[in-house]
Structure 1
Amino acid sequence: MVLAKKIGLSFVLSLLVGVAACAETTEFPPPETPPPPPPGGTADATPPPAAAPATKAPAAPRVDTSLIPRDVLFGNPDRASPQLSHDGKQISFLAPVDGVLNVWVGPADDPSKAKPVTADKVRGIRRYFWAYTNDHVLYVQDKGGDENWHVYAVDLKKGETKDLTPIDGIAARIEGVSSKIPGEVLVGMNDRDKKVHNIYRINIKTGDKKLVFKNEGNFAGVLADDDFKVRLAMRKAPDGGDVFIDPSAKPKEKGKDPEPYLTVPFEDAETTNPVGFDATGKTLYLVDSRGRNTAALFEVDFASKKPKLLVEHPKADVQRFMGHPKTGKVQAAAAVYERPTWQAVDKSIQPDLELLGKLGEGEIMVLSRTLDDKRWLVALVPSDGPVKYYRYDRDKKKTEFLFSNLKALEGKPLAKMHPVVIKARDGLELVSYLTLPKASDPDGDARPDKPLSMVLLVHGGPWARDNWGLNPMHQWLANRGYAVLSVNYRGSTGFGKKFLNAANNEWAGKMHDDLIDAVKWSVDSKVADPAKVAIMGGSYGGYATLVGLTFTPDQFACGVDIVGPSNLKTLLATIPPYWAPMVATFHKRMGDPNTPEGAKQLEARSPLSHVDKIKKPLLIGQGANDPRVKQAESDQIVKAMQAKNIPVTYVLYPDEGHGFARPENRMSFNAVAETFLAQCLGGPIEPVGDDFKGSSLQVPAGADQVYGIQEALQSVKK
């Protein structure tokens, strides 16, 4: 059972989320997210624009040899994402092989004997887990960032890897694994109809598949139990709400759907979701915001629909869960306001949680548990140090340190991340996270000794959120001397339905006002120098960057847009087939292009419509294979700027998608961005050096506007 699974909007779409170049994460490198994404730009991207006329060469920024190297912050981890096999005999983790992340497996009592069991040579594996056979590892991979995910099974005894979904052009997604059916995996594939996913049971050894749910009802997602029976199927209603059907229920009329098992109004659709069944299939766990503001966790008798409240929080939605590995019963859950607040539902694990809480400062994350629940694998995640991994013996109440994710971080001058709550102009509370250069805040009170240059780092989504923890982007920018502020603006998830729905039809409206209010707070609090604030972000954060430079052109000193949409009309006009069931939701939250009012609003809120207002330096990064925000979204704003003789620097990666997964590409882009920001904000730099080596980086426009870039490109060519 996967208790974190959600079949509402946030499961089917992580709209504009998953930007590996600037995603918040607890591990290095930031992982990509496999679930189906949101709409992109035009289907066939036009060629990169021609370079703009040369401008005066920029001055060389100040070099500081004491900076934390970019390859430490954005390169591969030593070891990350460890897991125990279900029988507890083996341990696995991600580690590089010739610079590419692969899965390693070894004896649980001696991780140093682990050996690689996969052989990815290009993008690296970022998501994997154990099958219940204990002899197989499952992982997902796409090609060049196209997000047409395939599911692979590694036979550890034979040393063979099998593609379980060997069909070109499909986007497969894992729907579940079960200890009751250890030799199979439940997979969704849009093989019959590109708009929807059928559900198959696939034999891990042979690849043979059996159809268990033919999706002929335009269902956007399903939830199955441990017997691999589809128990709920979700369809988006015309008004953007959710309708959940029990496929086994008998309809009142032949050829009709059964009566809905659960109906969720539009205003609750993002905050009300079934998250899993227990092993018996009789108990459904439901996160529900209906009749309240924040989403609470309920235990529901599936037959009678009788709910029992388990966990709630006055200011935050319940978002995280711990379930017993055998019974599937929820044992603890957490809401996340500033930081997670865990509540034990099963009091038998309270002593375990209390003991683990003494490991050190940071967040405790239980990553895996053996089927007999005697051994756990636990991560301690601080905000200013490497992630530490421990094996925990429940019988002996003993923890054993295994390894950290990156030894090179030890002893580095990392800075603490501080939660701050900022009031928006209309009174909404914006939970935000501030990181300051270590030397600027000797007393640790989250206020520098004098105002600093600042980077406003905007998360993607917008239906996602920033969290507290180890964040390579925060550490990188703070180490370069900048204050870094991440803001959970309205529309961010986890803060109740009122906060989320306050963003409806507010792209470039009140959502942007929240960012401006956060900048004002930083200036009033003597954190930021008002003349030296940059805006930077990926995906929706990239859109927010473009909005910042067009709608409020005097507010920011410069902007860094990573895979951000520039035209909301083209963004929505090219929704891939399997996002079609959710189109009503996009229209209600962003604007309906099929109505005169909606079309006018989308055009008015598109940065492309206001290009002539750009007066500050802009850097754009784009993956050519991005299925969410197509290359055309960046191409068209670059062309529009060039047509008006407005300088812009455009960096393109032909082997990347929605963000930059390959370490070489991450480091090359951030080398460009570091120098670009230094030119705007006056901070120090680590020279480009060899950071373009092995990267696919292209600079179709504006290479001459960032110091040292042309020379570095020529050096790589030589």
Structure 2
Amino acid sequence: MTHRTRTSIPLIPLETLFGNPDRIAPSLAPDGRRLTYVAPLDGVLNVFLHERGGGQDRPLTRDRGRGIRRQGWAWDGRHVLYLQDRDGDENWRLFAIDAGTGDERLLTPDAPDQAHPVQVQILASSPRHPSTLLVGLNRRDERVHDVYRLGLTDGRLEEIERGDPTVIGWLADHELVVRGRLRSEPDGGTTLLMRDAPGAPWREAIRWSAEDAPLSGPLRFTEDNRRLWMRDSRDRNAAALVLFDPATGETTEIASDPEYDVSATAFHPTRHEIQAVAFTRARREWRVLDEAVRSDFEHLLAADAGELSLVDRSLDDRLWLVAWTRDDGPVAYALWDREAARVEHLFVHREALVGLPLARMEPVTIDARDGLSLHAYLTRPPFGEAPWPLVLVVHGGPWVRDTWGYDPEAQWLANRGYACLQVNYRGSTGYGKAFLAAGDREWGGRMQDDLTDAVMWAVQQGIADPERVAIWGGSYGGYAALAGVTFTPGVYRCGVSIVGPSNLLTFLDSVPPYWESFRAMLDRRVGRLPRYTDGERAGQVKLEADLTDEDRRELEFLRARSPLFHADRVRCPMLIAQGANDPRVKKAESDQFVAAMRERGLEIEYVVYEDEGHGFARPENRLDFYRRAERFLARHLGGRCEEGTG
């Protein structure tokens, strides 16, 4: 058997993998005649307009800072909306651009006497009211997003509903009438409250237990605003698509799988009928429910070997904006003309990837030590022979999952000579509520054991060199990297933590105020930080003198699962990176761990990006980080490096 050598595979530049993409995030105008997308302008991501009839694409925005990533058309076909924060603080502001004139307005300015930062959430829009949005703003109380009606033409903001710290979210019908709200319960469950009209009394429609709540919730109303399409895991293991009648309480199952949750849905844009659902097993698999679109899906699934996504649809449903995600190439975007049965290629998100020797992503199954099956993805280097040095890449969340497809980190690692293993450890979503609940209170426990077991599997399979294994991750993955080098110090040669919590006590006490409605869920799934429940101190962390024996046991549990308090066990070098403005995992989380390592004389490289938050959006910062990481891994694992190290 002939193996390609280290020198026969070209080194893919970091700029190609982690620099600005060429074009991403397309959005189709309601009439299908125009589309917008995000692309670099003078090195910064901005919104561009494309006229389908011809003409040169032109920029609609001219941001010079952090760049724009989230944008889309309003139903009026005139305004393009985008969200922007300040250097990663996630206090989003909503802007509107007139696609015809280019005029730009800030729709959610701070009040002159605003005492705290304000974040906007887009709650609802409807083609029946194309110039109106419902938005959530936490102006009145930093913990609570009240509902405002926003006029796109005149910019008028009118408060129409007030919430409280238990409100997780709001539900509006197609007339933009607020008909429901989701309330968090002290046990971590969720209740859907509904009413028939503004001012009518709220009534309890559905109560989801703490086990069901993370996988369940409303999706949208039917066309007549009488029934609700929902995801629902009650009386089953995995979240199904159901139709719920609030008047009778009757629930009808539409589509389900015994092991996998519904992961995507396709609704008609105006009739609001369900037409297809997807379940993500090793890869996404579509199940067509409406014969009217069966031939469309058959054509699109046959048109490309990648994983199909429906990105957008014109209001008359003649045009679909679709994407195909491949594991060994860029994401491809196209328009599907339903009448002509024709695919019109638009662009790929990174043209420079085309033709490069990218690696394939292989789904694998790993048995954890207690017999639980873990689904994972393995990306092998396209050269050399096993065993390779291994980088275990841990996804964040933790209540999300890794999926198949193009992953720049996996491609980078494989190209540098490392096997990359990505594991959906217990507590990941997508695999039903039993698998999700298996991660409750297991940060640093069985969730970490799953990662260790994955490394041992790779060693036993002859894939990984046991002397050259690194653990890498961001957010929860950063926590797992810190936990890996402290709780299992003999497993890893080095570790990389990006915006990772190190101390669960300080982490749980410093989450954003608007996460208050998720507090009960965090208590249940991570651990409970003892707080006062009533009186003037309600919500504050208890003082030492007021702690009960149960409170003390909880604090000891959180300390035991916090890598910071076990930093003396670290035996390997670490690279830690942090955004200074991160609202989720404060900079102090990284500072504390770095200080503990330095006090012990341990090898640590620490970089803080002053204009970033929970991740690195600016290309100059992102490239700086990956250059540092590449040198770090090359020194300790021996892989290739763009700058010649290793």
Question: Which range, TM-score by smaller chain?
Answer: over 0.9
Q: Secondary structure at the match of 1:260?
A: strand
Cross-structure match for 1:305: 249
Q: Deviations over 1:63-109 (max 9, x none)?
A: 99931000000011111122221101112111110011111112124
Partners of 2:640 and 2:164 in 1: CA distance: 58
Cross-structure match for 2:236: 292
Partners of 1:183 and 1:590 in 2: CA distance: 42
TM-score by length of 1: 0.84
Q: Deviations over 1:247-271 (max 9, x none)?
A: 44799xx9xx744111011111111
Q: Secondary structure at the match of 2:22?
A: coil
Say whether 1:630 aligns with 2:561.
no
Cross-structure match for 1:76: 20
Is 1:212–1:229's contact at 8 Å kept on the other side of the alignment?
A: no
Equivalent AA in structure 2 for residue 133 of structure 1: D
Q: Secondary structure at the match of 1:396?
A: coil
Say whether 1:243 aligns with 2:186.
no
The Cα shift of 1:575 comes to: 2.8
What pairs with 1:459-498 in structure 2 (closer than 5 Å)?
459-498=395-434
Partners of 2:473 and 2:164 in 1: CA distance: 39
Partners of 1:597 and 1:345 in 2: CA distance: 51
Deviation above 4 Å: which 4+ runs of structure 1?
Answer: 62-65, 247-251
Q: Deviations over 1:492-516 (max 9, x none)?
A: 0110000000011111000001001
Partners of 1:237 and 1:293 in 2: CA distance: 21
Pick from 215, 224, 249: which aligns with 1:280? 224
Is 2:118–2:138's contact at 8 Å kept on the other side of the alignment?
A: yes
Is 2:381–2:414's contact at 8 Å kept on the other side of the alignment?
A: yes
Say whether 1:524 aligns with 2:468.
no
Q: Which structure features the higher share of strand residues? A: 2
The Cα shift of 1:545 comes to: 0.2
Partners of 2:420 and 2:164 in 1: CA distance: 48
Partners of 1:324 and 1:250 in 2: CA distance: 27
Pick from 125, 140, 145: which aligns with 2:83? 140
Any gaps of 5 or more consecutive residues in structure 2?
1-5, 531-550
Partners of 1:463 and 1:149 in 2: CA distance: 23
What pairs with 1:255-274 in structure 2 (closer than 5 Å)?
258-274=202-218
**CA RMSD across the alignment:** 1.8
Is 1:337–1:431's contact at 8 Å kept on the other side of the alignment?
A: no
Equivalent AA in structure 1 for residue 436 of structure 2: L
Partners of 1:223 and 1:108 in 2: CA distance: 35
Cross-structure match for 2:553: 597
Equivalent AA in structure 2 for residue 683 of structure 1: G
Is 1:63–1:686's contact at 8 Å kept on the other side of the alignment?
A: no
Q: Secondary structure at the match of 2:303?
A: coil
Is 1:611–1:640's contact at 8 Å kept on the other side of the alignment?
A: yes
Q: Secondary structure at the match of 2:500?
A: coil
Cross-structure match for 1:130: 73
Cross-structure match for 1:379: 323
Cross-structure match for 1:89: 33
Aligned residues: 616
Partners of 2:433 and 2:166 in 1: CA distance: 26
The Cα shift of 1:640 comes to: 1.1
CA spacing shift, 1:208–1:64, aligned 2, 3 Å: farther
Pick from 172, 180, 187: which aligns with 1:232? 180
Q: Deviations over 1:355-377 (max 9, x none)?
A: 00111211011111100000111
What pairs with 1:526-565 in structure 2 (closer than 5 Å)?
526-565=462-501
Partners of 1:682 and 1:66 in 2: CA distance: 17
Pick from 92, 103, 111: which aligns with 1:149? 92
Pick from 387, 390, 403: which aligns with 2:347? 403
Pick from 627, 633, 640: which aligns with 1:677? 633
Partners of 2:247 and 2:165 in 1: CA distance: 23
Any gaps of 5 or more consecutive residues in structure 1?
1-61, 441-448, 689-706, 709-718
TM-score by length of 2: 0.93
Identity among equivalent pairs (%): 47
> Taking CA–CA contacts closer than 8 Å with sequence separation of 6 or more, which of the two structures ends up with the larger relative contact order?
1
Cross-structure match for 2:387: 451
Pick from 576, 590, 612: which aligns with 1:620? 576
Cross-structure match for 2:547: none
Equivalent AA in structure 2 for residue 373 of structure 1: D
Partners of 2:16 and 2:223 in 1: CA distance: 43
Q: Deviations over 1:553-610 (max 9, x none)?
A: 0001100000000000000112332111221111111111211121111001000000
Pick from 158, 173, 176: which aligns with 1:210? 158
Equivalent AA in structure 2 for residue 304 of structure 1: T
Q: Deviations over 1:105-146 (max 9, x none)?
A: 121244x62100011111111111100111110110100000
Cross-structure match for 1:641: 597
Partners of 2:9 and 2:364 in 1: CA distance: 32
CA spacing shift, 1:510–1:217, aligned 2, 3 Å: closer
Partners of 2:304 and 2:514 in 1: CA distance: 44
Say whether 1:360 aligns with 2:304.
yes
